[in-house]
Amino acid sequence: MKILRMNSVTKFYEGTRALKDLSLEVSESERIVILGPSGCGKTTILRLVAGFMAPEEGSIFISGQLVSQDGHIILTPEQRNLGMVFQDLALWPHLSVKGNIAFGLKAKGVQKQERETRIHNILQMVGMEGYSKRKPDELSGGQQQRVALARALVLRPRILLMDEPLSSLDLELNIRLREEILRLQEELGFTLLYVTHDREEAFGIANRVVILSKGRVEFDGTVDAARAHLTQ
């Protein structure tokens, strides 16, 4: 069974058509990167999958379950069991690192003992043990992204959605965090749906590349095939 299916999805914003009859099927544990220039509809795809809005036309299924269809949200974001690391979805500034990571676990009713264990383990996995009492403004940009990643992954999501999560970092840190995302994905086995406008970043992360152009899929295939397609 496909973990995600988007069937002939069309999305409008006040008359502008952001996605046009877009279909996409994602298998479990794939690492899909959606690559394309600013304004081509990448973030719109993630917002639709997350459940912040519904497509005017078409339907979306997650793990075989209908989550939205023809303008209606059927499952809310909380009911979809997804992880999100979005550019503009920052850490809560008034909460410590631990508080930020604990928030979602508390909301899901995970008991204190289990919370402590899971927070400890995930901080270790992202290399942030020892930082649990710090506030976000006492961390570097790269450290904040690690915490955002930990906050998403501690909930053990079926799919991790990432929207240009590394674009504000310098190249060296960008490459290091890419490697960590790959390592975490291998270790935890989530499906990754990752969005970027940066080719090298896309090729470094993906095992499948979807090139988006003006709200349509222009190409869908392996990293090698995507490279060839773009140098034609």
Element (H, E) at 186: helix 171-188
Query: Using the rule CB under 6 A, which residue among 5, 31, 42, 80 binds ligand ADP?
Result: 42
Q: What is the DSSP string of 86-105?
A: ETT-PPPTTS-HHHHHHHHH
Identity of the residue, 53 or 223, whose beta carbon is nearer to ligand ADP in the bound complex: 53
Least separation in angstroms between CB 6 and ligand ADP: 14
Pairwise CA distance, residues 20 & 26, whole Å:
18
Query: Using the rule CB under 6 A, which residue among 8, 23, 27, 39 binds ligand ADP?
Result: 39
Q: How remote is the C-alpha of 155 from its chain's centroid? A: 13
**Stretch touching ligand ADP by CB under 6 A, among 33-41, 59-67, 92-100, 222-230:** 33-41
Site for ligand ADP contains 165 (CB under 6 A): no
Which of the choices ligand ADP, Mg ion, none does residue 39 contact, using the CB cut-off of 5 to 8 A by kind? ligand ADP
Contacting ligand ADP within 6-25 (CB under 6 A): 13-14, 16, 18
Pairwise CA distance, residues 150 & 102, whole Å:
10
Longest dimension (CA), the chain: 56
Count of residues that interact with ligand ADP, criterion CB under 6 A: 12
Q: Which residues are paired to 60 by β-bridges?
A: 6, 68
Q: Classify residue 114 as exposed, middle or buried by CB count within 10 Å of its CB (0-12, 13-18, 19+).
A: exposed
Contacting Mg ion within 12-71 (CB under 5 A): 42-43
Could you list the residues that contact ligand ADP (CB under 6 A)? 13-14, 16, 18, 36, 38-44
